[in-house]
């Protein structure tokens, strides 16, 4: 049984407390003798490395960035959820748990999600103590706002830069441990293989990105916190360097990849503008608190807008279709991301899209500007203010709330979003799938752990907004420091791991061969061109909607593309220098395999749930149709060699506390 | 539009660098980095070595991108990182000069890529609050005046890109260091170790070979996040008060 989830016994709300109180510990004198490798220093990795260092372990932390402060966690805008109930609006640990399970379309583990909701409150305490400058009310207490898929205000935020501020908090905690020597930091090092000794993860092979030197690093265990694989789609909101390589290399060594087809499409991104485009930019979900999403009701209006004969301002109120409010009156513009994205796709497919490519909808702040403007005028004691005054006052409120996002939008598009509604379209943003882990966040390879976005554990088939930051920090600060003891308590007599053994030599040679292979093809096409083509295949056939026929076709296309890649790739330069093209080539080679596995998983899952929408499985009014009878399981895939099909291992999901319902936001 | 680019090329940190000329066909919707992507694809197609430059988030928050464009760190737009600069700003026939951030404490790695790890070492010297995981009290236990929280946020928003150093004729890191000193010193949580912090961070800053501040204020003008030089004044006050009667500054 490869997928034993090791969920502790007991009532849901007691599991974590009881387990924590009875699990094995490692005494301080033994911690000093134990080495831990942490790969990745975003929210999950930095918080784990810092906390493990504080506890007294010897930590070696690795990042391919020039500094741990650059990780993609920094780009998260909107906020972080926590069940503090500071707003007295009925929130609780149970409600956050329930919202997350429901939001994930009943494809996540109850026990993990409940633990996440429990520790969410500790994260906010810790972050405030570190100096994270969250938004505050006039009374000096913390302010909250609301996010998609929930009816309470539990999101803490720091203007539009919550990820940045939380990452800096974790980075600073890490810096403190680097200064004390308990963490040894390796910047500009990329993990290219994991080393197994007697079946346990005992080290990594890392490439020094400045010199190309391959280094062997050994430890008693290895913790991966290497983020998601959204860049398999080429265009995504992920930072350019985000990649699957570290995670994929562990899959190549036997780790299971769970639910890889569960990818999140974020509904509010700036639409694609041209072929040269390298990445997409997200507009925070928080904007949906005040932005109303619409397209014209009449096809001829949409056509006129696309052809530049009309603008949004020419469309009368009664000719606008606020389709989210129409279809989902209970949640309106704040439906979860998967629902909002699909709704945008539907109206655009029907011909109502509003930019040149026809792939964009409007997000309009006029109503909010008027509402805030009136309330401000009232506060200032202005009677009968004119429309211009109301607008001016309202724009100021919007600016205070979302100023930096509006500015970002204008910089990219050259259009003033206070005057014209924003144009948005869905884009790949996050990956719920990831390396399979048990309750201890340990993979099926003993001693190999996976945290944050790179594991699969908490978000099911769809992640709710402001929950990625929560999960990354929960895993790093409050889960792994405990659960890692379950493994390490059995290792206190294990001496330092020797990096000169055959296993290390084999892994190093494996990496050397891969690099040599890529450099020696000397073909004619750039890495970038292959990546872009892979992205097109993934987006067209394994993106917002999928079908059996399309997926089968796409699998064949990826295989052909991979063949071409190994025949005609050109990588300039050499290994023994700073060579970003070689770095990219290694990453795209792994994306070409990961993409195929995503397609296999999407093909296997004959249902629609969360971010996974199969055209064959939908209700009459186009909503996702789940199949709980047959698919209430985690699909954990064992990779074989390229010629064979991956092997499916099922972890049945047992719901003891939540009744499986059709998700409705109507 | 057709543009002429003069780009600094340098094989490695020990090599002697020089400007190379390129021409490129760009369009006005591109970002500056996308324009460089196109250039690199053309170079690769000709089996030439692409221009090395650093970038990651491409939305102005990670602080990875650098480069000096026509004499200005992050280029001509105010409050913008290089990745947020768009080609709309340029017109057909323009010549653009692109160089790395230049400072003794930021050695060139290759072409436009420099080593900014000195900033990490300044943070390691004291740019944190000493609280272990689990030691925190309830987040609402200490109310913080809204204006104070906002001011702390303004300082904390520094992305560590190093434009302040590149802009400064003395290559001083005062704006970067003072932003962190201010952010933490303004908050009640950070006040406890404020004295030690400022002394240690300033000491490390000097050790890294950054220059002195002579109030030129180019750092503030070029900062993509609008970090104010008030932070430098605050750090000087903090430093002075921490030094008086302290043997720790020696």
Q: Which three-class secondary structure state does DSSP give residue B94?
A: coil
| Burial class of residue A318 (count of CB atoms within 10 Å of its CB; 0-12, 13-18, 19+) | exposed
Count of residues making up chain B: 250
Contact map slice: B 152-181 vs A, CB within 8 A:
152-153, 156-157, 159-160
Q: Which three-class secondary structure state does DSSP give residue A523?
A: coil
Point out the residue among B37, B58, B128 whose CB comes nearest to the CB of A173: B128
The verdict on whether A337 is a catalytic residue reads: yes
pLDDT greater than 70 at residue B63: yes
Cα–Cα distance between A64 and A208 in angstroms, integer?
9
**Strand locations in A210-343 (E):** 214-218, 221-224, 257-258, 263-269, 292-296, 320-321
> Residue B139 phi/psi, 5° resolution?
-60, -25
Cα–Cα distance between A260 and A257 in angstroms, integer?
7
Task: Identify how many contiguous H helices and E strands chain B contains and give both numbers.
Answer: 9, 7
Q: Return residue ranges of chain A for CATH 1.20.58.100.
A: 501-633
In chain B, where the domains are located: 2-109, 116-243
Chain B within 8 Å of A478 (Cβ-Cβ)? yes
Chain A contacts of B125, Cβ < 8 Å?
179
Helix (H) or strand (E) holding B153: helix B146-156
> Residue A461 phi/psi, 5° resolution?
-95, 0
pLDDT at A27: 96
Cα–Cα distance between A207 and A216 in angstroms, integer?
9
Edge-to-edge strands, sheet with A292-296: A263-269, A422-431, A361-364, A292-296, A320-321
Joined together, the tokens standing for residue A16 give 């974590």
Buried residues in A460-472 as b, exposed as e (16+ CB within 10 A): bbbbbbbbbbbbb
Cβ neighbours of residue B122 under 8 Å, at least 6 residues apart? B173, B176, B177, B180, B201, B204, B205, B208
pLDDT at B248: 52
Residue written as token pair 């928080």: A286
Chain B within 8 Å of A432 (Cβ-Cβ)? no
**B2-109 CATH fold:** Ubiquitin-like (UB roll) (3.10.20)
Chain A contacts of B137, Cβ < 8 Å?
125, 129
Report the sign of the C-alpha dihedral through residues B54, B56, B59, B64, in that order. Answer: negative
CATH class (in words) of the domain with range B116-243: mainly alpha
Residue B120 and residue A65 in contact, taking contact as beta carbons nearer than 8 Å: no
Closest CA to A197 of A450, A508, A504: A504
Torsion of CA A537, A543, A547, A548, to 10 degrees: 60
Point out the residue among A138, A168, A187 whose CB comes nearest to the CB of B117: A187
Which candidate in A109, A115, A337, A533 is catalytic? A337
Q: Which three-class secondary structure state does DSSP give residue A665?
A: coil
Chain A to chain B, count of Cβ pairs less than 8 Å apart?
209
Residue A454 and residue A225 in contact, taking contact as beta carbons nearer than 8 Å: yes
Chain B within 8 Å of A181 (Cβ-Cβ)? no
Neighbours of A413 (CB within 10 A): 20
Point out the residue among A67, A164, A570 whose CB comes nearest to the CB of B61: A164
Residue-wise pLDDT for B189-209, tens only, equals 999 999 999 999 999 999 999
Chain A within 8 Å of B221 (Cβ-Cβ)? no
Cα–Cα distance between A613 and A594 in angstroms, integer?
19
Most A CBs within 10 Å, among B25, B34, B36, B56, to test the A interface: B56
**A313 CA: distance to closest CA in chain B (Å):** 23
Cα–Cα distance between B82 and A548 in angstroms, integer?
43
Furthest-apart CA atoms within chain A: distance in Å: 83
Neighbours of A314 (CB within 10 A): 12
β-sheet bridge partners, residue A364: A292
Does the interface predicted TM-score (ipTM) exceed 0.85?
A: yes
pLDDT at B249: 45
pLDDT-flagged residues of chain A (< 70): 1
**Strand locations in A198-312 (E):** 200-208, 214-218, 221-224, 257-258, 263-269, 292-296
Chain A within 8 Å of B25 (Cβ-Cβ)? no
Closest CA to A594 of A528, A520, A537, A513: A537
Closest CA to A144 of A96, A89, A77: A89
pLDDT at A405: 87
By C-alpha distance, the chain B residue nearest A179 is B124
Most A CBs within 10 Å, among B62, B122, B188, B197, to test the A interface: B62
Point out the residue among A126, A133, A139 whose CB comes nearest to the CB of B152: A133
**B244 CA: distance to closest CA in chain A (Å):** 26
Q: What distance, in Å, lies between the first and last C-alpha atoms of chain A?
A: 41
Task: Put residue B47 in one of left, alpha, beta given phi > 0 → left and psi -120 to 50 → alpha.
Answer: left
Q: How many CA atoms lie within 13 A of A261 on its CB side?
A: 31
Q: Which three-class secondary structure state does DSSP give residue A479?
A: helix
Neighbours of A207 (CB within 10 A): 25
Cα–Cα distance between A664 and B122 in angstroms, integer?
51
- Asked if B56 lies within 8 A of A142 by C-beta distance, the reply is no
Joined together, the tokens standing for residue A155 give 């999101």
Residue A203 and residue A46 in contact, taking contact as beta carbons nearer than 8 Å: no
> Residue A361 phi/psi, 5° resolution?
-125, 170
pLDDT at B246: 63
CATH class (in words) of the domain with range A501-633: mainly alpha
**B194 CA: distance to closest CA in chain A (Å):** 12
């Amino acid at each position: 049984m490869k997928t034993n989830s090791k969920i502790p016994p007991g009532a849901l709300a007691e599991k974590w407390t009881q387990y924590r109180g009875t699990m094995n510990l490692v005494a301080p004198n033994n911690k000093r003798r134990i080495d831990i490798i942490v790969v990745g220093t975003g929210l999950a990795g930095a918080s784990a490395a810092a906390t493990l260092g504080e506890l007294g372990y010897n930590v070696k932390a690795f990042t391919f960035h020039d500094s741990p402060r650059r990780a993609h966690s920094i780009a998260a805008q909107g906020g972080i959820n926590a069940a503090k109930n500071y707003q007295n609006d009925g929130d609780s640990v149970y409600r956050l748990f329930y919202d997350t399970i429901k939001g994930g379309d009943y494809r996540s583990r109850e026990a993990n999600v409940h633990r996440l909701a429990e520790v969410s409150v500790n994260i906010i305490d810790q972050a405030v103590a570190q100096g994270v400058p969250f938004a505050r009310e006039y009374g000096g207490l913390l302010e909250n706002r609301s996010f998609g898929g929930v009816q309470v205000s539990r999101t803490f935020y720091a203007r539009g830069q919550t990820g940045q501020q939380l990452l800096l908090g974790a980075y600073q905690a890490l810096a403190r441990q680097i200064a004390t020597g308990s963490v040894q930091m390796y910047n500009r090092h990329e993990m290219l293989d994991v080393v197994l000794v007697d079946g346990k993860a005992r080290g990594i092979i890392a490439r020094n990105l400045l010199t190309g030197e391959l280094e062997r690093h050994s430890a008693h265990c290895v913790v991966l916190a290497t983020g998601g694989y959204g860049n398999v789609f080429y265009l995504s909101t992920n930072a350019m360097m985000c990649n699957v390589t570290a995670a994929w290399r562990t899959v190549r060594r036997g780790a299971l990849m769970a639910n890889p087809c569960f990818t999140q499409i974020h509904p509010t991104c700036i639409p694609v503008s041209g072929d040269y485009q390298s990445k997409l930019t997200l507009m925070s979900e928080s904007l949906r608190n005040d932005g109303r999403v619409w397209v014209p009701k009449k096809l001829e209006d949409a056509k006129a807008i696309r052809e530049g004969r009309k603008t949004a301002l020419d469309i009368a109120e009664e000719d606008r279709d606020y389709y989210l409010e129409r279809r989902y009156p209970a949640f309106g513009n704040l439906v979860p991301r998967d629902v909002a994205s699909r709704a945008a796709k539907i109206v655009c497919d029907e011909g109502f899209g509003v930019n040149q490519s026809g792939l964009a909808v409007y997000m309009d702040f006029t109503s909010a500007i008027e509402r805030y403007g009136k309330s401000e005028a009232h506060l200032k004691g202005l009677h009968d203010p004119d429309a211009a005054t109301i607008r001016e006052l309202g724009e100021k409120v919007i600016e205070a709330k979302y100023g930096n996002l509006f500015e970002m939008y204008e910089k990219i598009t050259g259009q003033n979003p206070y005057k014209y509604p924003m144009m948005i379209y869905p884009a790949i943003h996050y990956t719920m799938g990831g390396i399979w882990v048990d309750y201890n966040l340990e993979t099926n390879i003993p001693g190999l752990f996976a945290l944050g976005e790179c594991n699969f554990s908490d978000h099911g088939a769809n992640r709710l907004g402001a929950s990625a930051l929560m999960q990354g920090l929960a895993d790093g600060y409050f889960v792994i420091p405990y659960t890692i003891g379950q493994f390490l308590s059995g290792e206190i007599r294990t001496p330092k791991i020797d990096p000169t053994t055959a296993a290390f030599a084999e892994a190093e040679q494996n990496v050397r061969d891969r690099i040599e292979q890529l450099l020696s093809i000397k073909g004619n096409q750039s890495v970038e061109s292959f990546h872009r083509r892979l992205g097109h295949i993934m987006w067209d056939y394994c993106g917002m909607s999928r079908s059996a026929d399309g997926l089968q076709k796409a699998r064949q296309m990826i295989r052909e593309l991979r063949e071409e890649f190994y025949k005609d790739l050109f990588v300039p330069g050499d290994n023994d220098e700073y060579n970003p093209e070689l770095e990219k080539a290694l990453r795209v080679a792994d994306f070409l395999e990961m993409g195929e596995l995503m397609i296999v998983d999407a093909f296997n899952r004959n249902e629609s749930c969360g971010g996974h929408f199969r055209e064959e499985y939908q209700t009459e009014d186009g909503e996702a149709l789940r199949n709980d009878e047959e698919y209430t399981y985690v699909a954990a895939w064992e990779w074989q060699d390229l010629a064979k099909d991956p092997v499916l291992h099922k972890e049945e999901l047992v719901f003891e506390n939540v009744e499986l319902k059709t998700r409705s936001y109507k | 539009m057709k543009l002429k680019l003069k780009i600094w090329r340098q094989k490695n940190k020990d090599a002697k660098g020089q400007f190379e000329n390129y021409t490129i066909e760009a369009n006005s919707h591109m970002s500056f980095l996308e324009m460089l992507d196109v250039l690199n694809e053309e170079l690769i197609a000709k089996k030439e070595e692409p221009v090395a430059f650093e970038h990651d988030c491409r939305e102005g928050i990670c602080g990875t991108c650098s480069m000096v464009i026509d004499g200005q760190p992050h280029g001509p737009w105010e409050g913008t990182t290089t990745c947020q600069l768009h080609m709309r700003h340029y017109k057909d026939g323009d010549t653009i000069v692109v160089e790395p951030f230049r400072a003794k404490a930021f050695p060139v790695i290759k072409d436009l890529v420099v080593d900014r790890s000195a900033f990490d070492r300044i943070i390691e010297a004291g740019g944190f609050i000493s609280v272990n995981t689990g030691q925190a009290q309830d987040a609402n236990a200490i109310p913080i005046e809204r204006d104070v929280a906002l001011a702390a946020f303004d300082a904390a928003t520094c992305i560590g890109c190093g434009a302040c150093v590149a802009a400064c004729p003395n290559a001083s890191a005062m704006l970067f260091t003072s932003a962190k000193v201010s952010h933490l010193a303004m908050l009640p949580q950070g006040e406890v170790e404020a004295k030690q912090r400022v002394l240690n961070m300033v000491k490390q800053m000097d050790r890294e070979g950054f220059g002195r501040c002579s109030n030129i204020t180019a750092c503030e003008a070029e900062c993509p996040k609008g970090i104010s030089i008030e932070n430098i004044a605050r750090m000087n006050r903090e430093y002075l008060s921490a030094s008086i009667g302290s043997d720790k500054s020696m």
